[in-house]
Amino acid sequence: MPRTSPALAETDFLIALLNEADPLHGAALRACGRFRLILSPYSLVELDLLVLSGRIEVDDPAEFSRDVIRELRVRRISTAPARPEVHARAWELREGGGGAGYFDSLHRALAEVEGLPLLSADGAHSGCGAGWIDLRSV
């Protein structure tokens, strides 16, 4: 099946893809086969902060980052460019009473600005104006 439908992937997808023990690892692999995936650039920052904070433990952060790059290349996952207008929409999402966190608001805002459905296991994205693909259902 050709990967024709694009989707914007966020951090929970990336973590599931990288971690074979993650319950969503299989879904992440299936998503790679079904969609033309574009990774939110904010996922890379979020992943770095998770490593920096110790919530994700790695022996060598630089080598881990190189492994992430290799995995994205092997899976033919591109990275969306950061766009300044995303930040204005992210502020609206955070202040709109929906309780969107910092990175969630950036991922969702980017999806809406780019007009791409957001691939995520987080049901908070179900109201994404560009659509939401539940990673758990892939």
CATH number of 39's domain: 3.40.50
Domain region containing 41: 5-82+114-137
In a domain, 72, yes or no: yes
In a domain, 9, yes or no: yes
What confidence score (pLDDT) does residue 2 get?
Answer: 61
What confidence score (pLDDT) does residue 10 get?
Answer: 96
pLDDT in tens, 29-52: 999 999 999 999 999 999 999 999
In a domain, 97, yes or no: no
In a domain, 69, yes or no: yes
In a domain, 36, yes or no: yes
Question: What is the three-state SS of the chain?
Answer: CCCCEEEEECHHHHHHHHCCCCCCHHHHHHHHHHEEEEECHHHHHHHHHHHHHCCCCCCCHHHHHHHHHHHHHHCCCEECCCCHHHHHHHHHHHHCCCCCCHHHHHHHHHHHHHCCCEEECCHHHHHCCCCEEEHHHC
Residues (pLDDT < 50) of the chain are 1
In a domain, 92, yes or no: no
pTM (predicted TM-score): 0.92
Indicate the number of domains in the chain: 1
In a domain, 107, yes or no: no
What confidence score (pLDDT) does residue 97 get?
Answer: 66
